[in-house]
Amino acid sequence: MRPPMQPLFLIQSHKEPAQLARLVRVLRGGCPDSHVLISHDIRGAALPASTFGGDPRVHVIGGKGGRGDFEIVDGYLAALRWARDHIDYDWITNLSGQDYPVSSLEAFTAELAGAEHDGFLHHFDAVKQDAIDMQPMHWPPGHGHGRYYFQYKKVKDSASVIERAALKAPRIVFDRLDAPYRINTAYGLLFGRRAAAPPFTERFRCYAGSYWHTIRRACADYLLDFTDGNPDIVGYMRRVLIPDESFVQTVLVNEPRFRFVNDNRRYYNMRGSRRGHPQALRADDAPDFLGKQYVFARKFETTNGAAFFDRLDAVALAPHADPTEEFTRPAAAVPVP
């Protein structure tokens, strides 16, 4: 008899240990055969070993997070290496500490067990930028080219309001397809130079998409093998802009043996967001993500209150159907403290 399918949830976290503990409890409750691996940012809030009650299937390692550079990818790859050496698993889902399940975890596990594809991975050609493939992302024309065909150097970790204002005119001047340089102030102060020899070809295209995904273990192992065997490409990707939205897609989608659903089954509200950060979700947002195709949503904050999380738990721990009726009725929104 085949053993139960074992999912692995990899959480890259940096704050809110209490909220993280609640996320881990619902993941373990909804997927009893799962492992949870937490890569906790060594620069973030302390994460005591007692946080998870001694569960032998919950593992905590140190890591690094962030956005806009390769550090979060390094943390992800390091966690994959640790998992390869210590955990027997079939599928891996990466999460942040502010994600939360918004549909039945049991149903999701059953879906993975019977899947004929290799993962839920949002992806699109970073140069062609097909509007349908990109959804829900929206990039201006040429944005992928500016991100991934230039090599950037970070001058400062953050740019002040005055610096961003002073550099607005030169940013506009250099924001042309034929410009040799780029200036970016969204993730610090970075100067970019057009790459002399980018690694992308017709056979190795540059892909992009959301960082969050669910993939088979074979894909995770291939990511590690590719990283070890292609130091020049990895070195190049270390110097592009926002590699976390390209590295995994570029490596995996170019591998012909894998097939992916172009949908990561995540909900996030980017309306009015700044520098790529989604809006915090509230109880009155629930009709937008419950009872839909989404398995996880982000980002949630402790200010939502325990009652709201209790109701999300009821959805996540339901056997197959999501008890969303109370959420979808307009009068049912839980007040946010």
In whole angstroms, give the CA distance from residue 246 to residue 248.
Answer: 6
> What region, left, alpha or beta, does residue 126 occupy, with left being phi > 0 and alpha being psi -120 to 50 degrees?
alpha
Quick check: 277 pLDDT over 90? no
Give the rounded percent of residues in the chain with a pLDDT score beyond 70: 92
Q: What average pLDDT score do residues 181-196 get?
A: 89
Looking only at the bridges linking them, the beta strands covering 58-63 and 207-208 are unpaired
Q: State phi, psi for 335 to the nearest 5 degrees.
A: -60, 140
Quick check: 233 pLDDT over 90? yes
The model's confidence at residue 336, banded by pLDDT at 50, 70 and 90, is very low
Q: Tens of pLDDT along 20-41? A: 999 999 999 999 999 999 999 8
Are 226 and 258 in contact, with CB atoms under 8 Å apart?
no
Strands (E), the chain: 7-13, 35-41, 58-63, 91-96, 100-101, 119-120, 124-125, 150-156, 181-184, 189-194, 207-208, 214-216, 266-267, 296-297
Give the rounded percent of residues in the chain with a pLDDT score beyond 90: 64
Q: What average pLDDT score do residues 233-258 get?
A: 97
In whole angstroms, give the CA distance from residue 95 to residue 235.
Answer: 25
Q: Tens of pLDDT along 89-136? A: 999 999 999 999 999 999 999 999 999 999 999 999 999 999 999 998
* CA 73 to each of CA 16, 79, 92: distance values in angstroms, whole numbers, following the listed order: 21, 10, 15
- What's the confidence (pLDDT) of residue 136? 87
b/e map 195-217, b = 16+ CB within 10 Å: beebbbeeeeebbbbbbbbbbbb
Whole-prediction pTM value?
0.89
Topology of domain 7-125+207-332 in CATH is Spore Coat Polysaccharide Biosynthesis Protein SpsA; Chain A (3.90.550)
Q: Give the domain ranges of the chain.
A: 7-125+207-332, 150-194
- What's the confidence (pLDDT) of residue 329? 35
